Amino acid sequence: MMAALSRPARDSWRVLWLLVMLVTAETAVGGGPAGTAPEPDPTAIRSYFAGQRMRVLTFLGYSGAGYENPAAMLDQVRQILDRYDPRDTLVNSGATAEGIGAVYALAKRKGFATTGIVSALARTERVPLAPQVDTVFYVRDAGWGGFLPGTETLSPTSQAMVENSDVLVAIGGGDVARDELIAARRQGKRVEFIPADMNHRLAREKARKKSQPAPAEFSGVAATAFQRPQ
């Protein structure tokens, strides 16, 4: 890993990068934190993270599906963050506020800089972002992430998530988290999975609205990533 930049140097680099993004973009649509970038291309996202010269610790998990035990999830996050130093580690996730997005408030209280990578659908559909995200990247994508249908090629959002992460930790999670874990393992990234149930009530309501049988299993499919060959 490259030597970490001092906080003033990182802040100066971040300001310069954002100015370049705003000047080169034809339009910048608001609605996110001050550090929201207007759908940069993959090279620009890679350049940003490389310029930070920090380890990127990414949290995956449930978003809209929520957690059956949010306090237990946050306790797991706390234990993981305690292994890392805010001076050389940046905390990344999917930018939105729900579910695993609770990691941002805890990370900020511990002094970590934070980033989020999310499909541009979040802006189109006005999905609330976590207010504690320092910099958000909206990725132009037809879906929310995971493998493209019928392939094992990551969607643009998940590709950006995986390639810019050094360590990926999933606390529960659905098919998007599963696909990102599979791809990360194949790329030799450090990955960790912690079992956690999605919110049972929300899962039942979702099934009812789709006229499907009530679910009997709430652990998500992310764990199956470790049943696939690397």
Alpha carbon separation from 153 to 118, 121, 172 (Å, rounded):
17, 19, 22
User: Do residues 130 and 94 make contact, with C-beta atoms less than 8 angstroms apart?
Assistant: no
How far apart, in whole angstroms, are the C-alpha atoms of residue 51 and residue 44? 10
- pLDDT tens series, the chain, 230 aa: 445 556 555 665 555 555 444 433 322 333 345 465 567 889 999 999 999 999 999 999 999 999 999 999 999 999 999 999 999 999 999 999 999 999 999 999 999 999 999 999 999 999 999 999 999 999 999 999 999 999 999 999 999 999 999 999 999 999 999 999 999 999 999 999 999 999 999 999 999 999 999 999 999 999 898 876 66
How far apart, in whole angstroms, are the C-alpha atoms of residue 133 and residue 33? 7
Q: Could you tell me the pTM of the whole model?
A: 0.84
Q: Name residue 139's beta-bridge partners.
A: 119
Tokens 């194949």, located at residue: 186
Rg (CA), the chain: 17
Map out the domains of the chain with their CATH numbers.
36-227 (3.40.50.450)
Q: Name residue 191's beta-bridge partners.
A: 168
How far apart, in whole angstroms, are the C-alpha atoms of residue 227 and residue 102? 28
User: Do residues 62 and 99 make contact, with C-beta atoms less than 8 angstroms apart?
Assistant: yes
DSSP state string for 135-176? EEEEE--SSSSSBPTTSSPBPHHHHHHHHT-SEEEEES--HH
Identity (one letter) of the amino acid at 154?
A: L
Length of the chain: 230
User: Do residues 115 and 134 make contact, with C-beta atoms less than 8 angstroms apart?
Assistant: yes
User: Do residues 48 and 86 make contact, with C-beta atoms less than 8 angstroms apart?
Assistant: no
